[in-house]
Amino acid sequence: MLSRVAASLYWQSRYIERSDGMLRMLKINYASSQDAIQEFTWEPVIRIFAGLDDDEGENLGNDSRAVLKYMVMGRNNSNSVLNIITLARENARSVQEHITKDLWQCLNEYYHTVKDSKLERALQREDPISVLDVLIKQVMLYYGTVEITMERGEGRSFMNIGKYLERAIQSVDILDTKFGSISDNPDLLTDTTYWKHLLLSLGGYELYLKTYREGFEAENVLEQVVLNNDFPRSVIYSVNNIQRYFERLQNDSNMDDFRDMTFKIGRLQSRIKYSSVKTIRQEGLHAFLTQIRGELYGIADVLNQHYFANS
Amino acid sequence: MQESAYFDKYNPIGGVWDEMYGADSNVRDHYRKVIEYISRESADDLNKKEELAKRLFMSQGITFTVYNSGEGIEKIFPFDIIPRIITAAEWAFVEKGIKQRLTALNHFLKDIYHNQFIIKDGVVPIDIIYSCPHFLREMYQLQVPYDIYVHISGIDLIRDHDGTFYVLEDNLRTPSGVSYMLENREITKRLFPDLLPQCGVRSVTEYPSILYKNLLALSPRQIANPNIVLLSPGIYNSAYFEHTTLARLMGVELVEGRDLVVNNHKVYMKTTIGLQQVDVIYRRVDDEYLDPLVFNPSSMLGVAGIMGAYRKGNVAIVNAIGNGVADDKAVYTYVPDMIRYYLNEEPILKNVPTYQLGNDDEREHVFKNLNNMVVKRTNGSGGYGMLMGHAASDEEIADYKKEIIKEPRNFIAQPTISLSAAPCYMQGELKPRRIDLRPYALFGPDGIEIVPGGLTRVALKEGSLVVNSSQGGGSKDTWVLA
């Protein structure tokens, strides 16, 4: 497979995954802003998801509609859903003959949906949750189409590596921000709605209720989001999948490159697998998450050098 | 036969060949079934079909992007839902004519880049050839596989007021539009269910497999799976949709210049497992941009050293480089002579009478009759830089004359040919609009094959004679009946 094609598939899939995480986060935050008695802060969401090249986001304050507009349709926000879906589509466009026609049409429709000016109006005047749901549904269609139509080959492996890498980075970032806020405001530690919203925005609320019977505890939330093998947005689940799809590239790889990458992924996987909430607490959550994030970026670098011919 | 309101109101343009109506205002036989079908539909239904067509083009990304103030706006090429129909007899004539013309043009390219007999025998004047910017010294004495230069061509045909076919242009470099031939047909299948088989319309779907078979045959390495690639300038090219469609339909790799590298006179592509040798390149990049070491040094679209690999015979390039000398508008005049010279046959398809403005007598004649002339640049395309004598103001004519006098070799003139008209669906009514026809011919080691169909371009503006998409033209599905 051409290096450029592999890189485009990988990035296409990273952008889609990012849009998914963002949309879910925005939806839950908006819903919780409707529950809030005191002023609701959008600051963590903007910190996690807005592009770094622009300070417009910082000045939005807590105006929910303005934040939503900025995060979904913001033209100056390089990380707005509109901008990243445009990038995902440009990537897909340059590799159209490597994805199925169904998938191309699906992504193309997602793009036209985000671009639709009616959607922008609805986001400002009508119920934002319905608008976000329309977009979330587009992502689900996309993933369903990948599942049903894409051949189980090299291309899909690169797509999945991109998807799970993005997901792992997102989960790490969200945890880091959410737990970081506790040190500023210790009351949050016992605030059940705070944890409930965190779990909802990661789609892990129902699983949590089934797993833990004793109500919302910070340590349990941490355990589920980092260490639960069955939770599809946990860090360990994402890393296991990076490993799984990378293994499949063995026959399509140069042996040295493959060994280098396998080593890096294996090291990260073991680091998480042989941690527990207790050991993470001991070394400090922030330090732990910073190290995991560094390793994830390291994997992305190796891919870039060895597989995408960008040295 | 019951005819609906659409057809009662249809007014053929006087003095113009109408594809649907005969001279006695009777519907031609081959249009009857379509008319019956459409007559059963209400204007509402037809409007819905038009909407459906637009939506299908949009959702499949069959669009081109216009970049305006930093933001891309997606546009679709206008498509008219009423098909253009060609009878079996008309097609047989066109097919024979194109095969003859193409054979001669291919002989001409071989000759002009080797022994140049045609110049030595005084059939084509030497200055016409050597003054042509597309005549490339780099191709001199270069052997191309099977002596085929024009693997893919799109010869533009028009019909005069009596229905006679004329060749307007030979496109022998990288003719585009074939994806529209294929996509228009797919859309028509959706718009008019069951109508195609009822009418006995011949299929066009073989095009990609014939092209693939021809590309495969050109591989310089005798191996089981040669690497065939389609070289595109990238996603910002207006024909990018076509490049990806063809790559997908043939199952070949779509590459850009930056994916390729030349080492030791061999072309390689950069892949996830390292470099892989490329055997055949179907390139959609113009000659000028193909190799920065030989042609335009600032080109980022090509591959440095590719010309060396080509000269060594390590890679096949389709179409051959330097074909522009054969579709130059000044050389066009001599194509009938080429057919007589190389094939000893009379030309089947006529040329439009053409005046060389480099020639003093002819220039004088053209200047006197500018009102009835179309003046074109010999190296122009896309309908840019033309002067339509009948529609231009005195001022435009005066300015254009100045341009001509500066560099007369660069211009030709042709009497205004009226172009045939076909019915188009516009806001609930059928109206006649001018059309041309571009069939796509594939030249491989087994000979020339032409898929029964082609691209019918239509001038959607009332009274317009310019069908180019860049000048407000659209397209129609083109049916060839069995």
The range of the structural domain enclosing residue B377 comes to 354-415
Structural tokens at position B275: 């470099």
How far is C-alpha B327 from the geometric centre of its chain's CA atoms?
Answer: 11
CA atoms within a 13 Å half-sphere pointing along the CA-CB vector of B428: 4
Residues paired with B71 in a beta bridge = B68
**% chain B with pLDDT above 90:** 60
Name the pLDDT band for B1 (thresholds 50, 70, 90): very low
User: How far does B309 lie from chain A, in Å, by closest CA?
Assistant: 21
Which residue, among B107, B318, B106, B60, has the nearest Cα to B212 in the 3D structure? B318
B70 has pLDDT over 70: no
Please indicate if any CB of chain A lies within 8 Å of the CB of B234: yes
Could you give the CA distance from residue A85 to residue A45 in angstroms, rounded to a whole number? 19
**Proportion of chain B in helix, strand, coil states, percent, rounded to 5:** 35, 25, 40
> Distance (Å) from the C-alpha of residue A231 to the closest C-alpha of chain B?
32
Q: Does B60 sit within 8 Å of A4, measured CB to CB?
A: no
Q: How many CB atoms lie within 10 A of CB B218?
A: 23
B308 part of a folded domain = yes
Give the Cα-Cα-Cα angle B329, B334, B335 (nearest 5 degrees).
Answer: 90
Residues of chain A found within 8 Å of residue B244, distances taken between Cβ atoms: 93, 96-97
Give the CATH number, domain containing residue B404. Answer: 3.30.1490.270
Can you give the pLDDT at residue B4? 59
Q: What is the DSSP letter of B77?
A: -
The whole-angstrom separation of Cα A80 and Cα A118 is 17
Listing from the earlier edge strand, what are the strands of the sheet with B387-388?
B355-356, B411-415, B373-377, B387-388
pLDDT tens digits, residue range A242-277? 999 999 998 888 888 899 999 999 999 999 999 999
| pLDDT: which is higher, B69 or B154 | B154
Point out the residue among B60, B251, B272 whose CB comes nearest to the CB of A1. B272
Nearest to A159 by CA among A10, A310, A6: A10
Residue A58 phi, psi (nearest 5): -65, -25
Give the residue-averaged pLDDT of B386-411: 84
Question: Where in chain A are the domains?
Answer: 1-150, 153-311
- pLDDT band at B384; cut points 50, 70, 90: low
How close, in Å, is residue A103 to chain B by CA atoms?
10
Query: Phi and psi of B448, rounded to 5°?
Result: -100, 130
Asked if the Cβ–Cβ distance from A309 to B60 is below 8 Å, we say no
Residue of B59, B272, B276 for testing the chain A interface, max A β-carbons within 10 Å? B272
pLDDT tens per residue, range B307-336: 999 999 999 999 999 999 999 888 999 999
Query: Which residue matches tokens 């290096």?
Result: A3
> What does the longest C-alpha to C-alpha distance in chain A come to?
59
Are the CB atoms for A103 and B254 separated by under 8 Å? no
What tokens were used for A172?
A: 């790490």
Mean pLDDT in residue range A150-159: 94
Question: Is A250's Cβ below 8 Å from some Cβ in B?
Answer: no
Q: What is the mean pLDDT of chain A?
A: 90
Element (H, E) at B458: strand B456-459
Q: Which range (A137-146, A173-182, A271-280) has the least confidence?
A: A173-182
Rounded (5°) CA angle B115-B116-B118 = 135
DSSP string, B353-394: P-EETTSHHHHHHHHHTGGGEEEEETT--TTTT-EETTT--H
Is B147 contained in some domain? no
DSSP B225: S
User: pLDDT digit string (tens) for A8-49?
Assistant: 999 999 999 999 999 999 999 898 888 776 777 888 888 888
Q: Residue A96 has which token pair?
A: 């159209």
> What residues are paired with B450 via a beta bridge?
B441
CA A74, CA A64: separation in Å to the nearest integer? 14
Quote the crossing angle between the two packed helices A192-201 and A218-227, to the nearest 10°: 10
Residue B34 near residue B56 (C-beta atoms within 8 A)? no
What is the mean predicted confidence (pLDDT) over B283-290? 94
Q: Which amino acid is residue A78, in one-letter code?
A: S
DSSP class of residue B103? Answer: H
Residue A149 has pLDDT above 90, yes or no: yes
CATH number at residue B250: 3.40.50.11290
- Residue A66, C-beta contacts closer than 8 angstroms, at least 6 positions apart: A60
Domain annotation covers residue B209: no
* Residue in A2, A93, A95 nearest the CB of B271: A2
Per-residue pLDDT, A59: 73
Do B225 and B310 lie in one domain? The reply is: yes
Residue B2's pLDDT is 45
Per residue, what are the HEC states of chain A?
A: CEHHHHHHHHHHHHHHHHHHHHHHHHHHHHHHHHHCCCCCCCHHHHHHHCCCCCCHHHHHCCCHHHHHHHHHHCCCCCCCHHHHHHHHHHHHHCCHHHCCHHHHHHHHHHHHHHHCHHHHHHHHHCCHHHHHHHHHHHHHHHHHHHHHHCCCCHHHHHHHHHHHHHHHHHHHHHHHHHHHHHHHCHHHHHCHHHHHHHHHHCCCHHHHHHHCCCCCCHHHHHHHHHHCCCCCCCHHHHHHHHHHHHHCCHHHCCHHHHHHHHHHHHHHHHHHHCCCHHHHHHHCHHHHHHHHHHHHHHHHHHHHHHHCCCC
Q: How many angstroms separate the CA atoms of B385 and B132, rounded?
A: 18
- Mean pLDDT in residue range A299-310: 89
Q: Given a cut of 50, is residue B84 above it in pLDDT?
A: yes
Answer yes or no: do B296 and B365 share one domain: no
Q: Which of B74, B47, B88 is nearest to B479 (CA)?
A: B88
Average pLDDT over residues A282-290: 93
Compute the nearest-CA separation of B176 from chain A (Å).
Answer: 18
Domain boundary among B364, B392, B415: B415
A96 close to B (CB below 8 A): yes
Is A1 part of the contact surface with chain B (CB cutoff 8 Å)? yes
Among B127-141, B419-433, B464-478, whose mean pLDDT is lowest? B464-478
The partner residues of A307 in beta bridges, in order of sequence, read none
Using omega within 30 degrees of 0 as the cis cutoff, is the peptide bond preceding B47 cis? no
Amino acid, single-letter form, for residue A281? R
- Residue indicated by tokens 């897909």: A92
User: Closest partner residue to B269 among A2, A104, A252, by Cβ?
Assistant: A2
Q: What is the mean pLDDT of residues B37-48?
A: 88
Mean pLDDT of B467-471: 74
Over range B195-214, report the average pLDDT: 95
Q: Which residues pair with B374 in a beta bridge?
A: B388, B414
Q: Angle at Cα A29 formed by Cα A177 and Cα A24, nearest 5°?
A: 90
CA distance A59 to chain B (A): 24
A141/B contact by beta carbon, under 8 A: no
Task: Please provide the DSSP assignment of B17-31 as one string.
Answer: -BSSB-TTSPBPGGG
- Where are the strands (E) in B205-360, listed by range? 228-231, 253-255, 260-263, 266-271, 274-277, 280-283, 316-318, 350-351, 355-356
Contacts for A129 with CB less than 8 Å, ≥ 6 apart: A27, A30, A31
Percent of chain A with pLDDT over 70: 97
Contact (CB, 8 A) for B309 and B267: yes
B41 in contact with A at a CB cutoff of 8 Å?
no
B38 vs A308: CA distance, rounded Å: 53
pLDDT of residue B421: 93
Residue B73, chain A, CB below 8 Å: the answer is no
**Pick from A2, A3, A105: CB nearest B59:** A105
- Residue B255 covered by a domain: yes
CB atoms B244 and A1 under 8 Å: no
Structural domains counted in chain B: 2
Q: How far is CA B65 from CA B76, B240, B245, B247, B467, in A?
A: 9, 10, 17, 20, 20
Integer CA distances (angstroms), B404 to B355, B363, B368, B399, in order = 13, 9, 14, 9
Beta-carbon separation of B272 and A109 below 8 A? no
Residue B42 lies in a domain: no
List pLDDT tens digits, range A56-89: 666 777 788 999 999 999 888 899 999 999 999 9
Element (H, E) at B429: strand B429-434
**Chain A CB contacts of B251 below 8 Å:** 97
Average pLDDT score, chain B: 90
- Does A2 contact B259 at a Cβ distance shorter than 8 Å? yes
In three-state secondary structure terms, B93 is helix
The residue of A4, A99, A106, A157 whose CB has the most chain B CBs within 10 angstroms, and thus the best one to mutate to test that interface, is: A4
Does B229 have pLDDT greater than 90?
yes
Same domain? B309 vs B375: no
Beta strands B152-159; B79-86: pairing state? unpaired
Q: Do A252 and B247 touch (CB under 8 A)?
A: no
Least confident among B30-44, B102-116, B144-158, B216-230: B30-44
Coil, strand, or helix at residue B274? strand
Token pair 């500018």 is at which residue?
A: B370
Say yes or no: B294 and B362 in one domain: no
Q: How far apart are the first and last CA of chain B?
A: 23
Closest by Cα among B395, B393, B355 to B374: B355
Closest residue in chain A to residue B274, using alpha carbons only: A254
